[in-house]
A and B are shown apart, each in its own frame.
Chain A
Amino acid sequence: MNRDEAKNILLLYRPGTADDADPQIAEALALAQRDVELARWFGEHCARQEVLRAKLRQIPVPAGLKEQIISEQAARRKDFDWRRLPALAAIAAAVVVSFVLITPWLQSLKSDNTLAVYQNRMVGTALRTYVMDLATNNSGSIRAYLGQNHAPADYVLPAPLEKVAVTGCAIESWQGMKVSMICFSTGKPLAPGEQGDLWLFVVDRAAVKNTPSAGPPRLARVNQLMTAVWTQGDKLYLLGTQGDEQTLRRYL
């Protein structure tokens, strides 16, 4: 093995790992101990590896991601408890008529596009460091932008929410459908990097299963946000903010 061959082999060497168990690497390492120039290159190479490794490991993980994964899974489990499948299947096999009757119900439970999963996904978007497609305080501009991009733009805001300052909007995706995300600022001081503290998501009602029928908003805590869900016309609305039920009701 010559010096260049050893360099090629040691290029894949990471200090502090089991790499030196590789016979080729072990041979190249032995050569580096005898060859001064190779030893110098190898020392620099190890330092470079450490720098690159350290920099890549500093990729920041968004706050709330873990909670979002866990809560979304909990929502899925709530929608469909897999442990019940054998029992349901047995009943269905034994009673064909019953099976026929419950099939549509089972299918609705199996799907991922249920309200609970939608709520979790949208709340996760609000909690993460999202990027607004349009930053503006002009609600007309927001509607125009959403309309131009074929996202829901003909939404109807509750009267108290009309009075809250908008900060911008983004277009999210749900089951291949566009979701309008409108960001508001309630006037409380925002944490650094935050672009709003109240978020409204509007999607076509048909894109989500188990939506509530028309009526007063349903309030529920999802992850770290208090949320309200309601339907109006062909739209499903989801409003979320950090705080309690009373805080959220001010905007409904």
Chain B
Amino acid sequence: MADGVDFEGLVTCHYQPLYQFAFSLTRDEADACDLTQQTFCIWAAKGHQLRDETKVKTWLFTTLHREFLGARRKQVRFPHVELEQAAAELPVVSPTPLHQLDNAQVLAALAHLDEIYRAPVALFYLQDYSYLEIAGILEVPIGTVKSRLARGLDRLHQLLTGGSAIGSTAPRTDL
């Protein structure tokens, strides 16, 4: 049981990566803060049910992702699009060498990815999670994770540089 996990220590260890994951999903600071906070609230209420303490981190990421999907479903029912959010839907502009891009451009490209690719790609880069762990967090089969990652990474690369990561659709000019 994870009863013995110290709440403050748990927050200290995990709030930053959780926030970064939340931000990569929502691209909104307030929403990401709320998602992170909500995740720890759920931990405080239900975390004692977790039997294996080594799974705490995965549990937190899974919970955050579930909360995101839940909130997203509500937003889809009552869509509210602001100009700043709509801007994220616009195509990323001219191809740029990767090392010249700033964080905001990378995040904008990530936000432009279809939602089913965004979460695995974020986990892939932010946490170095294995495919099996990503599959566990997102609650999908490992084969699905791999195919979503492959498509997501290729699409992300196209958005950032104008060429495919595989290199078959456009010549490599980046880096």
Contact = CB atoms under 8 A, between A and B. Distances in A.
| Same assembly | yes
Interface of A: 4, 7-8, 11-12, 14, 16-19, 22, 41, 44-45, 47-49, 51-53, 55-59, 61-62, 65-66, 68-70, 72-73, 76-77, 124-125, 128-131
Contacts of A77: 44
B149 to A, nearest CB: 6
Most B CB contacts (10 A, CB to CB) among A51, A53, A72 go to A51
B131 A53 contact: no
Interface string B28-39: 011001001100
B15 A69 contact: yes
B24 interface: yes
B103 interface: yes
Contact of A51 (B8, B99, B128): B99
B168 A12 contact: no
Contact of B128 (A14, A52, A125, A128): A14
B101 A55 contact: yes
Given A41-B172, A53-B125, 14 more contacts: A14-B124, A51-B101, A55-B102, A56-B20, A56-B110, A59-B19, A59-B20, A59-B24, A59-B107, A65-B36, A66-B15, A73-B7, A73-B41, A129-B29
Contacts of B154: 11
Given A7-B166, A18-B130, A61 B44 contact: no
A216 B73 CA distance: 43
A113 B110 CA distance: 35
B144 to A, nearest CB: 13
Contact of B166 (A11, A66, A76, A130): A11
Contact of B11 (A8, A70, A124, A129): A70
B175 interface: yes
19 contacts: A7-B167, A8-B166, A11-B154, A11-B165, A12-B146, A12-B149, A22-B131, A45-B165, A51-B101, A52-B106, A55-B106, A56-B20, A56-B107, A59-B24, A66-B15, A70-B11, A73-B44, A76-B44, A129-B29
A66 B10 CA distance: 10
Contacts of B156: 52
Given A55-B106, A56-B107, A70-B11, A47 B23 contact: no
Contact of A52 (B41, B125, B146, B172): B125
B92 interface: no
B15 A17 contact: no
Contacts of A51: 98-99, 101, 175
B107 A69 contact: no
Contact of B103 (A45, A59, A124): A59
Contacts of A11: 150, 153-154, 165-166
Interface of B: 7-8, 11-12, 15-16, 19-20, 23-24, 29-30, 33, 36-37, 40-41, 44, 98-99, 101-103, 106-107, 110, 122, 124-126, 128, 130-131, 146, 149-150, 153-154, 156-157, 165-168, 172, 174-175
A218 B48 CA distance: 35
B105 to A, nearest CB: 8
A117 B174 CA distance: 49
A53 B128 CA distance: 9
A73 B149 contact: no
Contacts of A7: 166-167
Contacts of B174: 44, 48
A56 B106 contact: yes
Nearest to B128: A17
Contacts of B15: 61, 65-66, 69
Contact of A59 (B23, B146, B166): B23
Contacts of A17: 128, 130
A8 B150 contact: yes
